[in-house]
Amino acid sequence: MLFRDREDAGRKLAESYRGPVEDLVVLGIPRGGIPVGYHLARELGGELDVLVARKLPIPHNPEAGFGAVAPDGSLYLNEEMLRHLHLTQEQVRAIASRVLVEVRRRLKAYRGERPFPDLGGKNVVLTDDGLATGYTMIAAVEMVRKADPASVNVAVPVSPENTARRLRPLVDHFHCLHVSDRYPFAVADFYLDFHDLTDDEVLRYL
């Protein structure tokens, strides 16, 4: 256990973060990334907002995923896994379309009618309470890149080594307090309190 709870993780991330902080926008991936992002934004003097991205579930094994999608349709696919799964392009498109509907519904639930922030020229930090495969984070990075920010950065409390290796080349600054080679890996193992957040809890931070 490294962190008391997600708020503790956010404070510790902020204390050690060395990426760019001018014109800062922190985008938390809900639900767990919102309390982390709240403390990052507060300590670093940035604006907190929300970006929903979700994994694309493997048929008959929905706990596992083969990629992820962001609200604008930005897609990350694990091509090697797809070859093993023998999914057709039509199947992939159908799964991605279903998940995208849910992503946009959840984003509207969190944002209401507020427009998505203008990220042009901003230093953007994407955060979550931890990474597993990293698929949702990569889809979020792809979406943010299209907005022409000054930089795209990722700050997370914990990540497996292979996921950190996958993400580092995709962003300007990758900050992780604990990169683990533990197997099997579970984000919850690094928290004393890792309860499932409700939407009401998320909205209180926003």
Instruction: Dump pLDDT digits (tens) for 86-125.
Output: 899 999 999 999 999 999 999 999 998 888 999 999 999 9
Q: Which residues contact 171 (CB under 8 A, 6 or more apart)?
A: 141, 152, 153, 154
pLDDT grade for 182, boundaries at 50, 70 and 90: confident
Question: Which domains are delineated in the chain?
Answer: 6-52+119-200 (3.40.50.2020), 55-110 (3.30.1310)
What is the average pLDDT across 149-165? 98
The pTM is what? 0.94
Q: What is the per-residue pLDDT across 6-53, written as a single tens digit (0 to 9) for each?
A: 999 999 999 999 999 999 999 999 999 999 999 999 999 999 999 999
| Token couple for 30 | 């809900």
On the question of pLDDT at 201 being above 90, the answer is no
Q: Which of 36, 71, 54, 66 is nearest to 191 (CA)?
A: 36
What is the DSSP pairing of strand 54-58 with strand 47-50? unpaired
Q: Which residues contact 126 (CB under 8 A, 6 or more apart)?
A: 27, 29, 51, 137, 140, 141, 144, 152, 153, 154, 155
Contact between 9 and 34 (Cβ < 8 Å): no
Question: Which amino acid, 99?
Answer: V
pLDDT number for residue 203: 85
Q: What type of residue is 124?
A: V
The torsion angles phi and psi of 22, rounded to 5 degrees, stand at: -75, 145
CA angle 196, 200, 204 (to 5 degrees): 110
Please tell me the distance from the alpha carbon of residue 144 to that of residue 122, in angstroms, as a whole number.
Answer: 10
Residue 125 CA to residue 22 CA, distance in Å, equals: 11
Q: Are 53 and 136 in contact (CB under 8 A)?
A: yes
